């Protein structure tokens, strides 16, 4: 999740300090590299590198940079590994324009090939550079910058926002399509940013551009133009009163809740990334022809792998072996050959247990692929190719959006392997949004009745078993209550003895497994348990359960993905009600780099 900031002042000023401050206020978004550019007397001063804001600023003496206009960008790698050349901002071919972006240009590889064929000077693999060249190609054909941006808009696919600074000008030009962009208005200056935190110490007078709008910033003017026909758009600014902490969290009280609500958008962005990935066909072909196909992961990523295994079987008729990374080594590594394929899954790409399993598998000749959120991480470097998650930075320790995008990734691959049209999956983000809206009141009410509960179960079957396991993990992680997730049909083989009067048991019901789930419900309610069901609106579930949290109707594998959302929300509300910080649970770390 990159972050951009740009500023235009009336006269030349010490912009280095302003850019450093703005960049530091964007660091919560997550980043691997940082860069700054200032423009003074028609000359561009560009300084950038991999590393943290303070270290890059010190290394390149950013504090001394001066100019009338300036841009800074924090990059979270998606296209191109973290490196100085891939760091943003980027120059055009002749060094006469500089720009940076936030978001993902999903046809980046195709565009780079076009630019090279047209003779443009393409220096990096990064899609931020593609935004600059997409405008440059039309300027070189004689178009003015506004019309060039309008034409570039039609070439750039994906969700993004970018800002450009031509050297021989006194304005900044920006465009919004899907990614965040806000404008600040001050005394003798204007500025823009991916979001509010980098603006608020400078001004509280804010203008909010919409998708499909071009923004033109002068030191004392802001002009909005429609991308469709270039006409001027009138919009009044507003005064923002929120605190810095509030705006960093998007108005939510905790990052976990913010990230739960970001899941539909990151799923939408992931779909675009996968559609344009050059690695998908190779991965599918290797998976299809593998002797054995292993899905290797830990914790939440393992639950996603279990869900993926069900999707591969049900959608593509392909058996897979999901396995916890440490257990892979004694149980499977001795039998692995070069005919086997492994998909190694990690949010951070640095999970030590997963990297150990990867090393063991490669030593036996296995073909390794990865799925990770952090491009440039160890996992992305030591697998044949690594599919993205596209979640941006996930600050809260409990994984939410990285889990759902891992599951989405597997469903997408299963569709591909089955020869199904992946465009059918574009409805999933809308269903996720609908789910969050539908379940919010009932989940909050349910959480209020579980304040004193210290022991419970979550049960699922088939596609919903991994969801039950993940829900139990979330409840354990941030409520500190014991919650065990398991196969619903296994409950009678021992755990049933734990049931007492009003004992809470959450069933996750898939549309194809309702009769089996009803059997489990009656098994526990006959002994006094409180049966809570998450599932479709089905009269059979209503008649047998004590409570039903309804999710939208959807096919089996998609319904399971939707069902995790109320479990995430339930764990969040229970944690807050108990006075805990759900973002930073005790004893846990976001990235586990120890054995």
Q: Do the domain assignments include residue 595? A: no
Identify the bridge partners of residue 205 per DSSP, sorted by sequence position: 239
258 and 243 in one domain?
Answer: no
Q: Render the burial of 357-373: b for 16+ CB within 10 Å, e for the rest.
A: bbebbbeeebbbbbbbb
304 and 233 in one domain?
Answer: no
* d(C-alpha 297, C-alpha 303), whole Å: 8
Q: Do the domain assignments include residue 385? A: yes
Contacts for 120 with CB less than 8 Å, ≥ 6 apart: 92, 93, 133, 136, 137
Query: What per-residue confidence (pLDDT) applies to 592?
Result: 58
325 and 295 in one domain?
Answer: yes
Region of 502 please: left (phi>0), alpha (psi -120 to 50) or beta: left
Which pair of structure tokens corresponds to residue 428?
A: 């999933």
- Which residue from 533, 485, 530, 489 is spatially nearest to 508, judged by alpha carbons? 533
In which order are the strands placed within the sheet that holds 293-297? 321-324, 293-297, 341-346, 367-372, 386-388
Query: What per-residue confidence (pLDDT) applies to 581?
Result: 94
Q: Render the burial of 557-575: b for 16+ CB within 10 Å, e for the rest.
A: bbbbbbbbbbbbbbbbbbb
Placement of tokens 């596209």 in the chain? 390
256 and 235 in one domain?
Answer: no
Query: What per-residue confidence (pLDDT) applies to 247?
Result: 67
Q: 149, 99 in Cβ contact below 8 A? A: no
Residue 507, SS3? strand
Contacts for 21 with CB less than 8 Å, ≥ 6 apart: 201
Which residues of the chain carry a pLDDT beneath 50?
594
Other CB atoms within 10 Å distance of the CB of residue 269: 28
Residue 276 is classified by DSSP as T
Give 219-239 pLDDT, tens digit per residue. Answer: 999 999 999 999 999 999 999
455 and 413 in one domain?
Answer: no
368 and 241 in one domain?
Answer: no
Q: Do the domain assignments include residue 90? A: yes
Query: What per-residue confidence (pLDDT) applies to 527?
Result: 94
Domain that holds residue 323: 252-420
For helices 465-479 and 556-577, give the axis angle rounded to 10 degrees: 10
561 and 412 in one domain?
Answer: no
> Phi and psi dihedrals of 295, rounded to 5?
-115, 110
Q: Do the domain assignments include residue 441? A: yes
393 and 504 in one domain?
Answer: no
* d(C-alpha 451, C-alpha 63), whole Å: 52
In which order are the strands placed within the sheet that holds 530-535? 482-487, 455-460, 504-508, 530-535, 547-550
Q: Do the domain assignments include residue 71? A: yes
Q: Give the CATH number of the domain where residue 143 resides.
A: 3.60.20.10
Query: What per-residue confidence (pLDDT) applies to 411?
Result: 98
Residues with catalytic roles: 2, 590
- Which residue from 549, 554, 552 is spatially nearest to 568, judged by alpha carbons? 549
Q: Which of 201, 224, 248 is the last residue of a domain?
A: 248
495 and 473 in one domain?
Answer: yes
120 and 52 in one domain?
Answer: yes
C-alpha separations of 189 from 110, 183, 200, 205, 235 in Å? 38, 11, 14, 12, 18
119 and 222 in one domain?
Answer: yes
Q: Do the domain assignments include residue 425? A: no
Q: 414, 555 in Cβ contact below 8 A? A: no
135 and 38 in one domain?
Answer: yes
* d(C-alpha 352, C-alpha 325), whole Å: 9
Q: Do the domain assignments include residue 428? A: no
Q: Give the CATH number of the domain where residue 266 resides.
A: 3.40.50.10490
Tell me the H-state helices in 384-451. Answer: 401-418, 428-448
Asked if the peptide bond before residue 321 counts as cis, ω within 30 degrees of 0, the response is no
Q: Which of 203, 223, 248 is the last residue of a domain?
A: 248
Identify the bridge partners of residue 102 per DSSP, sorted by sequence position: 161
Q: Do the domain assignments include residue 182? A: yes
- What share of residues in the chain are helix, strand, coil (percent, to 5)? 40, 25, 35
Query: What per-residue confidence (pLDDT) applies to 350?
Result: 86
Q: 382, 368 in Cβ contact below 8 A? A: yes
Provide the domain count of the chain.
Answer: 3
Q: Which of 381, 396, 420 is the last residue of a domain?
A: 420
């Amino acid at each position: 999740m990159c972050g951009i900031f740009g500023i235009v002042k009336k006269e030349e000023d010490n912009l280095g300090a302003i850019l450093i401050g703005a960049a530091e206020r964007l660091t919560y978004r997550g980043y691997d590299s940082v860069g700054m550019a200032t423009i003074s007397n028609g000359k561009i001063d560009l300084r950038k590198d991999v590393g943290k804001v303070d270290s890059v600023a010190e290394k390149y003496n950013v504090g001394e940079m001066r100019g009338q206009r300036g841009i800074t960008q924090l990059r979270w790698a998606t296209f191109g590994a973290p490196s100085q050349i891939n760091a943003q901002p980027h120059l055009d071919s002749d060094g006469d324009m500089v720009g940076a972006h936030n978001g993902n240009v999903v046809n980046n590889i195709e565009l780079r090939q076009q630019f090279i064929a047209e003779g443009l000077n393409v220096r990096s693999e990064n899609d931020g550079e593609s935004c600059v060249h997409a405008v440059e190609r039309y300027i070189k054909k004689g178009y003015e910058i506004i019309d060039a941006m309008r034409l570039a808009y039609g070439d750039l696919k994906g969700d993004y926002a970018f800002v450009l600074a031509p050297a021989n000008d006194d304005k900044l030009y920006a465009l919004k399509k899907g990614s965040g962009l806000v404008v600040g208005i001050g005394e003798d200056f204007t500025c823009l940013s991916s979001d509010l935190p980098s603006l608020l110490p400078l001004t509280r007078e804010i203008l909010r551009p919409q998708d499909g709008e071009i923004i033109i910033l002068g030191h004392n003017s802001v002009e909005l133009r429609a991308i469709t026909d270039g006409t001027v758009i009138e919009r009044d600014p507003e005064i923002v009163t929120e605190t810095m902490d509030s705006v960093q969290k998007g108005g939510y009280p905790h990052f976990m809740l913010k990230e739960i609500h970001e899941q539909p958008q990151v799923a939408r962005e992931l779909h675009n990334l996968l559609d344009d990935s050059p690695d998908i066909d190779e991965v599918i072909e290797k998976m299809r022809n593998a002797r054995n196909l292993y899905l290797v992961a830990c914790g939440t990523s393992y639950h996603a792998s279990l869900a993926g295994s069900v999707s591969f079987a049900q959608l593509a008729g392909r058996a897979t072996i999901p396995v916890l990374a440490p257990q892979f080594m004694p149980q499977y590594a001795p039998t692995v050959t070069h005919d086997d394929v492994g998909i190694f899954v990690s949010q951070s790409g640095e999970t030590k247990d997963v990297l150990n399993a990867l090393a063991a598998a490669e030593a036996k000749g296995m073909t390794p692929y990865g799925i990770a959120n952090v491009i440039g991480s160890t996992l992305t470097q030591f697998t044949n190719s690594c599919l993205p998650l596209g979640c941006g930075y996930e600050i809260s320790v409990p994984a939410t959006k990285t889990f759902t995008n891992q599951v989405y990734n597997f469903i997408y691959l299963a569709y591909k392997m089955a020869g199904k049209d992946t465009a059918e999956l574009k409805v999933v983000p809308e269903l996720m949004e609908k789910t969050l809206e539908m379940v919010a009141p009932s989940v909050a009410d349910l959480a209020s009745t579980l304040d004193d509960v210290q022991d419970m179960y979550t049960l699922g079957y088939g596609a919903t078993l991994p969801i039950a396991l993940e829900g139990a993990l979330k409840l354990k992680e941030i409520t500190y209550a014991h919650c065990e997730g398991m196969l619903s049909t296994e409950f009678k083989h021992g755990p049933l003895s734990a049931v007492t009067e009003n004992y809470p048991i959450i069933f996750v019901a898939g549309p194809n497994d309702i009769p089996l789930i009803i059997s489990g419900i009656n098994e526990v309610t006959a002994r006094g348990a409180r049966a809570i069901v998450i599932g479709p609106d089905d009269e059979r579930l209503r008649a047998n359960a004590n409570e039903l949290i309804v999710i939208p109707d959807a096919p089996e594998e998609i319904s399971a993905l939707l069902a995790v959302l109320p479990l995430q929300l339930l764990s969040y509300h229970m944690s807050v009600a108990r006075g805990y910080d759900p973002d930073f649970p005790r004893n846990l770390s976001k990235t586990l780099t120890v054995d």
